[in-house]
Structure 1
Amino acid sequence: MNDRYSRQELFNPIGKKGQTKLREKSVLIVGAGALGASSAEALTRAGVKRIVLVDRDYVDWTNLQRQQLYSEDDARNQLPKVIAAKNRLQMINRDVEIQAHVMDMGIEEAEELISGIDLIMDATDNFETRLMINDLAQKYQVPWIYGACVGSYGISYTILPGEGPCLNCLLDKIPANGQTCDTVGIIAPAVQMVVAYQTAEALKILVEDFQAVRRKIVTFDLWENQQMQLGMEKAKKEDCPSCGANPAYPYLERKAELKTAVLCGRDTVQIRPSYNREIDLEEMERRLVSHGKVRRNAYLLEVESDSRRFVLFKDGRALVHGTKNTAEAKSIYNRFIG
């Protein structure tokens, strides 16, 4: 056991001093899908003190192609992802404390979970949650690492509160075309590449080697053999409501949350985004045609699959028929819309 971390300690930027720091640090990972599961495994093997995992979903057969902590038994039993992850992670390293929360993390839960956290890892599937994480990180001065992947494309960016722009500053700089793994697919190497960038940055922050932290956004497309880094220093906005001179943290306000309502007597959940967004219904039809029967007119698009019917309007509002479970409805919305 004494030489468990010996190869990591031989790496000079970490060393024994850095390993000691890792054993003092706590990481919050929001999402236990492809990115979250792999990041949690890497940090568990690295020997951090505590990992807090949050996810609302259970293991599905479609996850097994890229979500490396999970097994066929987990999918067969529909085990919540964070429970399955905790079971596996404790087999890997019992010295690491794993806290598993089966929940749809909202503002109230986020404010509770941030206590004692040294770093937040983004492994989510939607910008609503990412912007909440961003404001949470700015408010409590906790570093966080943004990451996303779809198809063969990936992106990562490290945000240090008080240094450089935050995610809110960069909203008009980051591609957000609405593609999701459920609409255009994903290959496992794209996941692992993002995880490599995220966890490398995580180790730098956790051992407090802030000089080594990358200040640029990195993007890549493995299939197209493309990679790019973009400097973001000039993107910082002094009037940014999240990190500017007078921060208001707008995404920690209730009105910023994705709004859900169970429609009386209709076994239907209505979902409204916190801001108006123009949906290209024709493009969305092309993406969703493989998910079931799709119908579209000038005002809305309808997808019928299994026992669920998903109706999307041009302003981003949606009706999810066949359920009264708001968490399930939000999950379906984010799978299709991103």
Structure 2
Amino acid sequence: MEERYSRQIPIMGKEGIEKLKNSKVFVGRCGGVGGTVVNYLIRAGVGNLICAHGGKIVPEYLNRMQLAYETDVGKSCIDAFRDKTDKINSQAKIHYIDNHITDIDNIEELLSDVDLVVDAHPLFEERYKLNDLALKLDKPMVSGAMYGDEGYVFTVLPHKTACLRCLYPKKPDFWTNIKVFPALGMGPGIIGCSMAREAIELLLKGTSQLSGKTLHFDLADMDFSVLNMPRKECNH
């Protein structure tokens, strides 16, 4: 097993590998963004995950979801994802939930036992719910989203840094449903990779480069910026 992680040991040491192995992460949605996060977290050796994603694989998922193949069309998302993650790292313990967080009755109980929350949701109803629960349960959260060639990632340290409601006090008017935004696979991939790196940093150190900041990028211009994200009085 040490050979598997030999390229990481110079970065985080053997103690870091062990810490990741014993960590537990919740990932909300495992599509283009979240599936990338899951892929790289288990490749890095994160030992325990809870992954929530409902529905079935449809053809339009194939342009961006790392964990979905042509042969998966028609299958439940979690069955398709499980088939891939079992082959990536059979040692990772992943509990899949065939539902989105807005429809999970015991979501608070599930989150109470994790070290970190990952918000990869496309809908603001889901994102607000996970944001509020992370703050209530004092769980650090990495959040990311995209629209066309643009994307952003930020990290929330509860009651210390800005949260989703500071950035978006209310849902943007244009964000009407899950099919409203255009997507190329590269955007979600970059977001998911950035979120996975943030997650690892948080699990190892308890803080990260994007705590209280936002990474924003526009692939059309190849413009990447890190912006301060001020905390506002949002009752959270």
The answer to whether the superposition gives a TM-score over 0.5 is yes
Residue 101 (structure 1) aligns with: 97
Q: How much does 1:115 deviate?
A: 2.9
Local SS of the residue matching 2:66: coil
Contact 1:147 1:194 in 2 (8 A): yes
Percentage of matched positions with identical amino acids:
30
What does 1:224-243 align with in structure 2 at a 5 Å threshold?
224-233=221-230, 235-237=231-233, 240-241=234-235, 243=236
| Residues 249-276 of structure 1 deviation map (CA, whole Å, 9 limit, x = unaligned) | xxxxxxxxxxxxxxxxxxxxxxxxxxxx
Residue 138 (structure 1) aligns with: 135
Once residues 200 and 138 of structure 1 are traced to their aligned partners in structure 2, the CA distance between those partners, rounded to angstroms, is 21
Local SS of the residue matching 2:226: strand
Asked whether 1:46 is paired with 2:44, we answer yes
Q: How much does 1:214 deviate?
A: 4.0
Local SS of the residue matching 2:43: helix
Note the residue ranges of structure 1 that are not aligned, 5 or more in a row: 244-338
Asked whether 1:68 is paired with 2:72, we answer no
Moved over 6 A (4+): 173-176
Residue 112 (structure 1) aligns with: 109
Once residues 63 and 47 of structure 1 are traced to their aligned partners in structure 2, the CA distance between those partners, rounded to angstroms, is 26
Structure number with the bigger relative contact order (C-alpha 8 A, sep ≥ 6) is: 2
Q: How much does 1:93 deviate?
A: 0.8
Contact 2:51 2:94 in 1 (8 A): yes
Residue 85 (structure 1) aligns with: 81
Q: How many residue pairs were aligned?
A: 235
Residue 6 (structure 2) aligns with: 6
More displaced stretch, 170-179 vs 182-191: 170-179
- Gap change, CA 1:101 and 1:132, over 3 Å in 2: same
- Gap change, CA 1:211 and 1:230, over 3 Å in 2: closer
Once residues 177 and 149 of structure 2 are traced to their aligned partners in structure 1, the CA distance between those partners, rounded to angstroms, is 12
Letter in 2 for 1:105: I
- Gap change, CA 1:39 and 1:72, over 3 Å in 2: same
Contact 1:25 1:118 in 2 (8 A): yes
- Gap change, CA 1:10 and 1:209, over 3 Å in 2: farther
Letter in 1 for 2:217: F
Contact 1:86 1:99 in 2 (8 A): no
Local SS of the residue matching 1:7: coil
Residue 294 (structure 1) aligns with: none
Instruction: Tell me the TM-score normalized by structure 2.
Output: 0.91
Q: How much does 1:40 deviate?
A: 0.6
Once residues 36 and 162 of structure 2 are traced to their aligned partners in structure 1, the CA distance between those partners, rounded to angstroms, is 27
| Residues 30-52 of structure 1 deviation map (CA, whole Å, 9 limit, x = unaligned) | 11211111111101111111111
Contact 2:36 2:193 in 1 (8 A): no
Local SS of the residue matching 1:51: strand
What does 1:156-167 align with in structure 2 at a 5 Å threshold?
156-167=153-164
Letter in 2 for 1:85: F
Contact 1:151 1:181 in 2 (8 A): no
What does 1:318-337 align with in structure 2 at a 5 Å threshold?
none
Q: How much does 1:145 deviate?
A: 1.0
- Gap change, CA 1:155 and 1:226, over 3 Å in 2: same
- Gap change, CA 1:212 and 1:171, over 3 Å in 2: closer
Note the residue ranges of structure 2 that are not aligned, 5 or more in a row: none
Letter in 2 for 1:45: R
| Residues 121-150 of structure 1 deviation map (CA, whole Å, 9 limit, x = unaligned) | 111111111111111111111011111112
Q: How much does 1:215 deviate?
A: 2.7
Letter in 1 for 2:150: Y
Local SS of the residue matching 1:108: coil
Local SS of the residue matching 2:114: coil
Letter in 1 for 2:18: T
What does 1:1-338 align with in structure 2 at a 5 Å threshold?
1-11=1-11, 14-75=12-73, 78-106=74-102, 108-172=105-169, 177-178=174-175, 182-210=179-207, 212-233=209-230, 235-237=231-233, 240-241=234-235, 243=236
Instruction: Tell me the TM-score normalized by structure 1.
Output: 0.65
Q: How much does 1:4 deviate?
A: 0.7
